[in-house]
Structure 1
């Protein structure tokens, strides 16, 4: 067993696709956190009764074929969706009119992590919007299965990494979202999880302002999606916790 694993603790945190795969190989219950905005959009879409099929990036012919196979709409990029009036990774693109509709959602971070970790005892979606509910659901599943819990902060991707460079960019919005969930769990926590919780508790009272001004928040704001940032930084707005059943997230 590699020394850098957090095996001896019941509650852990990992980063990105590699961390998601590591947690899946341990057989952990996994909570995937992508605040801006895969996780937040899935939670919001399901609150309106939509069904979300995650699929790894990029949005290409294979993704289009998959959407056709499951009878779903393939989500567009934010800019294209605004132009065409379709759905996207923006939570604001969903409404009550989407009840029972099916959507395939690709994203560089959230969907990629889901795909890497989909064969586990339980895979949940967590974010600031449902932090307390996600922790409660994970603990219920832990009591039933005896499995540990890993909260995966998805992070972002650097553009155009040079040869031999790692392309993951830690995103503080995901780290704070993971910390919010971990702070509600009762099991023993790894040092990595404890530091994550500490970051969240330190910024809890200013969390909306911090994410508003961080790199990911600023990027969305400059692209015209300020309302997405406001929405995704609300704490415990929903009690709904998406859980992957087969290949779909649907409201149970």
Structure 2
């Protein structure tokens, strides 16, 4: 007899995504610092976002071909440009008139593009939209499986570094899913993510800046990005990847 798949599954990084995504009605990708937070800010403002795997000359060509703005590195940003920084996205998109953005990222963006190429329906999730995303997915998935992928970061040798902020973001989304029906039939990994989130849910404004990624961003002058990312349930925007672009959920 074939083993029954868990109704809710959770794993890390691109290889984990390949493992848990097959058969899922939706795959939630979580990259709190900073891809899915920046993505959610953009989509909230009606901007379609193309997740791109590489930050090189090919990204420039893709942006030009689609008539889109290309997000640049934080260190390279000039007036009117946007980066992977969600704070800069809030600031610059308040005045810039754009409707398409190419957003390169080696973690969340690359995983999203990888999943979409394999036929998955991808949802961008962060702490800012966890409740809204869970409600949207729950209403449409029914009894079908849902997968959650924490993007994580990279060690200098390129290997996956599990990032606790992505565990908390995944747990926030999963905790909202669990509000109806509990966690029966869930994978142990998914239940563990919920427990990790609940352990810091009342103190995220303090815990997120003290995470390894939070400390790194603050040391480089981007404390504002951490504050934007920690603003739980600040938006109802739910980015869904359709035909290569993240757009607002219908």
Please say whether Structure 1 and Structure 2 have the same fold, judged by a TM-score greater than 0.5: yes
Q: Distance in 2 between matches of 1:47 and 1:214?
A: 26
Counterparts in 2 of 1:32 and 1:98: CA distance versus 1, 3 Å: farther
Q: Deviations over 1:170-225 (max 9, x none)?
A: 00000000000111114632111111111111111112211101110011111111
Alpha-carbon deviation of 1:121? Answer: 4.8
Alpha-carbon deviation of 1:250? Answer: 2.2
Q: Distance in 2 between matches of 1:9 and 1:156?
A: 26
Contact 1:72–1:103 (8 Å) recurs in 2: yes
TM-score with structure 2 length normalisation? 0.89
Q: Distance in 2 between matches of 1:170 and 1:60?
A: 25
Contact 1:44–1:91 (8 Å) recurs in 2: yes
Which of the numbers 162, 168, 172 marks the counterpart of 2:164? 172
Q: Distance in 1 between matches of 2:204 and 2:85?
A: 20
For the pair 1:152 / 2:149, whether they are aligned, the reply is: yes
Alpha-carbon deviation of 1:103? Answer: 0.9
Q: Distance in 1 between matches of 2:39 and 2:16?
A: 21
Residue in 2 aligned with 1:126?
125
Counterparts in 2 of 1:2 and 1:216: CA distance versus 1, 3 Å: farther
Q: Distance in 2 between matches of 1:90 and 1:2?
A: 45
TM-score with structure 1 length normalisation? 0.89
Alpha-carbon deviation of 1:154? Answer: 0.5
Aligned-residue Cα RMSD (Å) equals 2.0
Give ranges in structure 1 of 5+ residues lacking alignment: 162-166
Q: Distance in 2 between matches of 1:140 and 1:19?
A: 25
For the pair 1:77 / 2:84, whether they are aligned, the reply is: no
* 3-state secondary structure, aligned to 2:102: strand
Is the deviation greater in 13-22 or in 104-113? 13-22
Which of the numbers 88, 104, 107 marks the counterpart of 2:105? 107
* 3-state secondary structure, aligned to 1:26: coil
Residue in 1 aligned with 2:136?
137
Contact 2:148–2:170 (8 Å) recurs in 1: yes
Alpha-carbon deviation of 1:157? Answer: 0.4
**Superposed counterparts of 1:1-252, under 5 Å:** 8-57=5-54, 59-81=55-77, 83=78, 85-94=80-89, 95-98=93-96, 100-118=98-116, 119-143=118-142, 146-160=143-157, 167-185=159-177, 186=181, 188-251=185-248, 252=250
Give ranges in structure 2 of 5+ residues lacking alignment: none
Q: Deviations over 1:221-244 (max 9, x none)?
A: 111110110010111111110001
